[in-house]
């Protein structure tokens, strides 16, 4: 991918080879895709796979049910994303607190990120989703969907906290010195000078983590939350046909691909801005 | 009140690990006095300025600003920093804020001014330094000289009694140096007390009543610029000046 982009840029610099580049790229793509398609379609099992996975009638029959269940996934990841942005930033800030007084808090933050990055997400979902409601504590929600969302927030915050931390570390210490020299407190420097710059720099990796999170909402199916994967499974079991699962896959792809392209666009824009910034002054 | 020194450093020591950067600095600035610190790279000029602004804790000694011991216990360091303006070698403007944002941050967040009050005051300063039309620009769109003036205006916005300037010309193209020096000269004429670390001996001679030569963390020699330049007592000062002349910075 990157080699391709490099090559393209190279041809731009040389000039006049754009059309030839496009022609070769198209031809090569057609050959590769055509070859792969031919390989699949001519395989001995293709007719039954087509029937079981890419069945038009099944697709039309199940699409609205599966799409409807997908709304639950969207709700879960939207709520989780807001909470993750806040909670992960809290962890990252705690981890950066200076001085011996905050040593215990820093240790807790490190343990938190280590533990939640270490346990497979599906286990956290399972343990929280079944474990906490089983405690039968009064006043504590017992809904699986609630605890499943909490599990995703806990796990993904550990990753996003590290992303934030990298961003905070990437802001040069001279920025904090400048803020402090004006009389801003440590917290005010962080709030107005360090974090705004850090967040801007980590938006692409942050979106990347969010794409991972969105796919992992399907894990809530293991604790019985009716969401897209669960609904697709029900459809599959009813008709002994896998097409509903393909519908779920298509839905996930439909929302994640635009985000991936958006992330690429952001990265490219930052890169260009940096190049332009280097030229001025 | 007015006879009280603006700044007193007494036996200021600072080490980074085993490296002793300041080895007992004694320095006094009268009110409205402009003093230049000269010395080779690594002689401790920047560190001294950072210590005075409490950006580095000192290991021993005492720093008194306008009669107040700022290195003692129970000092509100944020208040002290607000009362001392510093312009860094690389200016350290906030790249995510416009010129106006840079200048009004401290007045709004530290001094509690409303946005409109802070902006009105900032506009006055920006006007004075010829930056009024740049208020909405971001730092990376400004020339080095303009960035330097924004850094000065940002430091002035909290009404400091003392300004510290750290090698403000070293990051600039030679043709911008004159512009910057004019601005500093204007500040000096306005009566600002200033301690300036510089390599520009010509400028030091021009603007400062007194020049202090710092060598390996020791204030080796000080006096009127003419005397330091023409007849330095210390051999190290002579050597430094010869190197400066050879580099065409005199």
Task: Give A105-145 pLDDT, tens digit per residue.
Answer: 999 999 999 999 999 999 999 999 999 888 888 888 888 99
Q: Which pLDDT belongs to residue A4? A: 46
pLDDT digits (tens, 9 = 90+) for A165-221: 999 999 999 999 999 999 999 999 999 999 999 998 899 899 999 999 999 999 999
Taken in order of first residue, the domains within chain A and their CATH numbers are 1-42 (no CATH), 55-279 (1.10.3720.10)
Task: Give A60-65's long-range contacts (Cβ < 8 A, gap of 24+).
Answer: A62/A232, A62/A235, A62/A243, A62/A244, A62/A247, A63/A247, A65/A231, A65/A235, A65/A244
CB-nearest to A174 from B88, B110, B144 is B88
Q: Over chain A, what is the mean pLDDT?
A: 89
Interface contact B86-A277, CB threshold 8 A: no
Q: How far apart are CA B65 and CA B70, in angstroms?
A: 7
Give the alpha-carbon dihedral of A40, A45, A48, A50, to 10 degrees. 0
Interface contact B94-A183, CB threshold 8 A: no
Q: How many residues does chain B have?
A: 250
Question: How many Cα atoms sit within 13 Å of B112 on the Cβ side?
Answer: 1
Closest by Cα among B55, B79, B52 to B197: B52
CB-nearest to A182 from B96, B106, B140 is B106
CB-nearest to B110 from A178, A182, A200 is A182
Residues of B in contact with A280 (CB under 8 A): 140-141
pLDDT along chain B (250 residues), means of 10: 82 93 94 91 91 94 92 90 93 94 96 95 93 93 90 95 87 75 87 90 84 91 87 86 75
**Which chain B residue has the Cα nearest residue A194?**
B94
Q: Which residue has the higher pLDDT, B69 or A18?
A: B69
Q: How far apart are CA B25 and CA B222, in angstroms?
A: 12
Q: Is the dihedral of CA B247, B221, B170, B185 positive or negative?
A: negative
Does any CB of chain B come closer than 8 Å to the CB of residue A99?
no
Q: Which pLDDT belongs to residue A16? A: 55
Taken in order of first residue, the domains within chain B and their CATH numbers are 7-246 (3.40.50.300)
Q: Which pLDDT belongs to residue B97? A: 94
Q: Which pLDDT belongs to residue A277? A: 55
Interface of A with B in 143-172 (CB under 8 A): none
Interface contact A182-B82, CB threshold 8 A: yes
**Span A233-243, mean pLDDT?**
92
pLDDT digits (tens, 9 = 90+) for A19-49: 889 999 999 999 999 999 999 999 999 999 9
CA distance from start to end of chain A: 34
**Span A60-74, mean pLDDT?**
94
**Which chain B residue has the Cα nearest residue A181?**
B81
Q: Which pLDDT belongs to residue A280? A: 39
Beta strand residue intervals within chain A, DSSP E? none
Shortest Cα distance, chain B CAs vs residue A277, angstroms: 7
CB-nearest to B82 from A183, A196, A277 is A183
Give the three-state DSSP class for A252.
helix
Q: Using alpha carbons, list the distances in angstroms from residue B182 to A68, B148, B212.
A: 70, 12, 21
For chain B, what is the largest distance between any 2 Cα atoms, rounded to a whole number of angstroms? 56
Does any CB of chain B come closer than 8 Å to the CB of residue A275?
no
Does any CB of chain B come closer than 8 Å to the CB of residue A272?
no
| 8 A C-beta contact, residue A148 and residue A220 | yes
Interface contact A182-B95, CB threshold 8 A: no
pTM of the complete model: 0.82
CB-nearest to A177 from B55, B84, B141 is B55
Q: How far apart are CA A217 and CA A28, in angstroms?
A: 37
**Span A59-76, mean pLDDT?**
94
Interface contact A184-B106, CB threshold 8 A: yes
CB-nearest to B81 from A175, A181, A280 is A181
Q: How many contacts, defined by CB atoms under 8 Å, are there between A and B?
A: 69
Judged against a pLDDT cut of 50, whether residue A11 lies above it is answered with no
Shortest Cα distance, chain A CAs vs residue B106, angstroms: 6
pLDDT digits (tens, 9 = 90+) for B72-118: 888 999 999 999 999 998 899 999 999 999 999 999 999 999 999 99
CA distance from start to end of chain B: 37
């Amino acid at each position: 991918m990157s080699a391709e982009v490099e090559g393209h840029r190279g041809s731009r610099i040389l000039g006049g080879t754009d059309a030839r580049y496009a022609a070769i790229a198209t031809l090569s793509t057609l050959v590769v895709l055509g070859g792969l398609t031919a390989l699949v379609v001519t395989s001995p099992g293709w007719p039954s796979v087509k029937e079981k996975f890419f069945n038009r009638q099944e697709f039309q029959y199940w699409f609205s049910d599966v799409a409807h269940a997908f709304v639950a996934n969207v709700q879960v990841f939207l709520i989780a994303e807001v909470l993750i942005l806040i909670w992960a930033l809290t962890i990252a800030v705690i981890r950066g607190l200076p001085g011996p007084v905050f040593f215990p808090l820093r240790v807790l933050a490190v343990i938190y990120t280590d533990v939640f990055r270490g346990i497979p997400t599906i286990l956290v979902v399972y343990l929280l989703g079944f474990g906490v409601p089983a405690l039968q504590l009064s006043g504590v929600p017992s809904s699986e969907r609630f605890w499943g969302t909490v599990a995703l927030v806990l796990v993904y915050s550990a990753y996003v906290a590290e992303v934030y931390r990298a961003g905070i570390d990437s802001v040069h210490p001279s920025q904090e010195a400048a803020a402090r020299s004006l009389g801003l407190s440590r917290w005010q420097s962080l709030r107005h000078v360090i974090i705004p710059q850090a967040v801007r720099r980590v938006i692409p990796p942050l979106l990347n983590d969010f794409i991972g999170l969105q796919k992992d909402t399907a894990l809530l199916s293991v604790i019985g939350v009716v969401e897209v994967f669960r609904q697709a499974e029900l459809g599959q079991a009813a008709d002994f046909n896998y097409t509903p699962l393909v519908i779920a896959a298509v839905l996930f792809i439909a929302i994640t691909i635009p985000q991936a392209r958006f992330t690429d666009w952001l990265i490219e824009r930052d890169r260009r801005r940096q190049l332009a910034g280097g030229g001025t002054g | 009140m007015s006879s009280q020194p603006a700044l007193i450093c007494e036996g200021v020591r600072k080490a980074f690990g085993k490296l002793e950067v300041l080895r007992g600095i004694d320095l006094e600035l009268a009110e409205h006095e402009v003093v230049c610190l000269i010395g080779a790279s690594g002689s401790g000029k920047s560190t001294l300025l950072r210590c005075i602004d409490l950006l580095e804790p000192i290991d021993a000694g005492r720093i008194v600003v306008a009669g107040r011991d700022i290195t003692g216990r129970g000092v509100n360091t944020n208040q002290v920093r607000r009362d001392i303006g510093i312009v860094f070698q690389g200016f350290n403007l906030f790249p995510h804020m416009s010129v106006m944002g840079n200048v009004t941050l401290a007045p709004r967040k530290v001094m509690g001014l409303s946005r409109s009050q802070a902006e009105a005051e900032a506009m006055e300063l920006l006007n004075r330094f010829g930056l009024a039309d740049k208020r909405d620009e971001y730092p990376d769109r400004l020339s080095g000289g303009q960035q330097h003036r924004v850094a000065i205006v940002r430091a002035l916005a909290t009404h400091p009694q003392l300004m510290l300037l750290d090698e403000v010309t070293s990051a600039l193209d030679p043709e911008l140096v004159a512009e910057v020096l004019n601005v500093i000269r204007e500040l000096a004429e306005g009566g600002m007390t200033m301690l300036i670390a510089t390599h520009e001996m010509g400028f030091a001679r021009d603007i400062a009543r007194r020049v202090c030569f710092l060598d390996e963390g020791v204030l080796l020699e000080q006096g009127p610029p003419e005397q330091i330049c023409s007849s330095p007592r210390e051999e190290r000062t002579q050597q430094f000046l010869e190197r400066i002349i050879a580099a065409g910075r005199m």
